[in-house]
Structure 1
Amino acid sequence: MRLLLALAVLPLPAFAQQVEIPQGCTAYLTVQAMSCRVSHHFTCEDDPEGWQRRIDMDQSGITYFGAIDSETQWVESFHLLSGTTEYLSEEVDRPASFTSLLEEGVSDYDFTTTNDAGEVTRYVGTDRLTGESVEIDGVTLDRTDYDITAFDSEGEILWSSAGNEYISRDWRMFLSGQSTYVSPEGSFESDDSPVAFIEPGEPGFLSPAPIYGCGQEL
């Protein structure tokens, strides 16, 4: 199902603003990260079973929204900064598998996406459990190592990234960590680790305002 959801911020006073989740969808988690980013996770009743959706926001507003399936494959992604939408190709050489990661400690993948301009990108990489677990804001997460390389349709490298991430077994999702990104234009390091997990009914749930790593923490 190739569905891009309309999202809006309610016109409330700044201290009370919340992200409005589309009708038929249910938000279950807000994550504040180190990198001046806040993410909101939700499910929608019209989606296939096991799908989860996420929107990311920085101080300027929404930067990304997309969906993963039950194996955490990137089934659709919309990047607002570039204005492009990517969809997972129907034929996947080696699909990403959250189940394999949990059961075998490793998941190798090789798949392609096609964007709305018809451009194909191939992603090849590996996720590995390190055997370490951490607790962040009362939530137990497993640490992973990863590497990924993106290629264009001619086989030229577009970018690569490596570092560590986290997974939640309960929420069946990946969460960003520390990484190094390399492209022909240069390289940079980032720390997008989660800091706070906020569930329905807790202060800050569905807040559009990132808190950490924004120059001045709120």
Structure 2
Amino acid sequence: MRTRPLKLGFLASANGSSAQAVMDAIEGGRLNAEACLMVSNNRSAAALAWAQDRGVPALCVPTAADPEAADRRLADEMAARGVELIVMSGYLRRLGPAVLGRYGGRILNIHPGPLPDFGGQGMYGRRVHEAVLAAGLAESSIVIHLVDEEYDHGPELARRRVPIQPGDTPETLEARVKAMEPAFFVETLQQIASGALELPDAA
């Protein structure tokens, strides 16, 4: 049974709505964790501003000019703040070997559709919902998985069903999934923090 707070780092490219929900849960005493660092590759990301407003260290690490240097810096910054688990909240960059080497099996991502069939490079946001509806499925899913060197490929930790409703469009399905994602992420982290859900290859 885990008793000490889980030290979390966050990655977001835009709003980071799931990260906001996680921090709300921490502040409300519903999640035994500590928000240690928010990082974005986008200097204008709203996630940086609201994290700073909450007193959480926030940092922009651009990746386009020198991906290898950014990878090393990201790994170093997370480690310097004692981060144990990284939460990706709409981070649209592939992670590099330095981060994956230091945090392998400790990076969580949430995907807005069934994996593995509706994942991979370019499959994010509304594109996922368009593909799910085009396939004629009776239900979609939200999947929380560990991150490795391939897009949407790491081991699955949790899955939540999202029934397809009559008349659904990519827009309506996207809105319903987005509304469900933050609470699902919080619930999964609660299970990890309490020891009810053990990560694969945990020491």
Taking structure 2 as the reference length, the TM-score comes to 0.29
Query: Greater strand percent: which structure?
Result: 1
Query: Greater helix percent: which structure?
Result: 2
Taking structure 1 as the reference length, the TM-score comes to 0.28
